[in-house]
Homo-oligomer: A and B are copies of this chain.
Amino acid sequence: MTNDLLIRNVRPLGGVLTDLLIRDGRFAEGSGQKGARQIDAAGQIALPGLVEAHTHLDKTLIGMGWYRNEVGPTRNDRILADRKAKRELGIDARRQSARQIMQTLPFGVTHIRSHVDVDTEIGIANVNGLVATRAAFAGLVDVQIVAFPQSGLLVRDGTLALMEEALKAGADIVGGIDPATIDRDPVRHLDAIFALADRYGKPVDIHLHEPGELGAFCLELIVERARALSLQGRVMISHAYCLGMLDGKRQAALIDALAAERIAIMTVGSPSAPALPLKLLREAGVIVASGSDGIQGTWEPWGRGDMLERAKFLAQRNGMTGDSDLEATADICTFGGAAGIGLSDYGLAPGCHGDLVLAAAETLAEAVALIPQSRTVIRGGRFLVRDGVLSEDLPHVE
């Protein structure tokens, strides 16, 4: 008996044709034992499992009927509409997160970091829902849970205690949001979440939409705290629009500070928000990850959650059209994401987890540009999706 899986005629990251062997759940050298299972990839490209580094699994409305969006234009309008929808629509975080995971699995999304709302109305119900979903998909799709104070932390009494409760209930990461414009006190907001992270030994992931110099100041405060608490490689800043709003010299100084503390940046490449300097960030050694943000919810009505398509969006937002540019954005949605959310043994090299996505394309750049469908997704040597069709032995989703 052998549990080897040999993937023949495959092109890792669009490179030369080869075979890939998965043994005991990991990539291995060699061509496998006699009688091993085989699949002919017919020249398809192999990517490691796609990494969704920033979404909101608990709030998608997939399968719940159309939500008529009449929400006002400010972030606060949206936060209010969001809480109202949770009350009135009864969004079940467990069910909805499972729906999104099953929607994005055929694309090859095998690793997901989800921010999950914690507030004084719903308490930690959504975190509990996500903990259940995480368990249901264990070994299939990895889910990281960020306890996320969407409605503010200090401005809403009791939220901080709920954040702590969320960590005890199983949240993996301490979240934060706009310490100035939403929470109205950048220093105390950041002190609170970094103290929590320090006490529980957890990483930090902060939504930072603050514009221009205000954002830069908050970013500096984050850098100072990462340094003081030796959290190098354990802090991510999501969105960080300020990096796309400042002059070159100021931008460069912030980028250097991020690199020094190994703080990762997550950007979705939104067409209507400032574009981040992807090339400069990566050249300076800053880890850049990407994500879909919320899909099909009250914030934004669209979103498929395909991280290969996301690589295209990143390139489009940055006016990048060359093949090497598209290879870079593909890297952001795979290796960048993996480094950003702290995955180990990620990739297609021997010893790495045997996770991969097969996609039909001549080159990696073509895969980003044309987003081939009907992919095959393999996790630890097990087929989760074959030519776009989900396996029948996956968790049942209502």
Contact = CB atoms under 8 A, between A and B. Distances in A.
Contact of A326 (B301, B324, B361, B370): B301
Nearest to A70: B322
B300 A321 contact: yes
Interface string A261-294: 0000000011111010000000000000000000
B321 A271 contact: no
A374 to B, nearest CB: 13
Given A302-B312, A317-B271, A363 B68 contact: yes
A299 B322 CA distance: 9
A180 interface: no
B272 A370 contact: no
Interface string A36-77: 000000000000000000000000000001101111010000
A318 interface: yes
Nearest to A316: B271
A366 B66 contact: yes
A365 interface: yes
Given A302-B370, A326-B301, A369-B302, A319 B272 contact: yes
A296 interface: yes
Contacts of A69: 321-323, 365
Given A271-B313, A316-B272, A362-B66, A71 B322 contact: yes
Interface in A128-187: none
A127 to B, nearest CB: 26
9 contacts: A68-B363, A269-B271, A271-B313, A272-B317, A272-B319, A273-B319, A301-B326, A302-B369, A302-B370
Given A65-B362, A271-B271, A272-B318, 7 more contacts: A68-B323, A69-B321, A270-B316, A296-B369, A300-B321, A301-B369, A302-B370
Interface of A: 65-66, 68-71, 73, 269-273, 275, 296, 299-302, 312-313, 316-319, 321-324, 326, 361-363, 365-366, 369-370
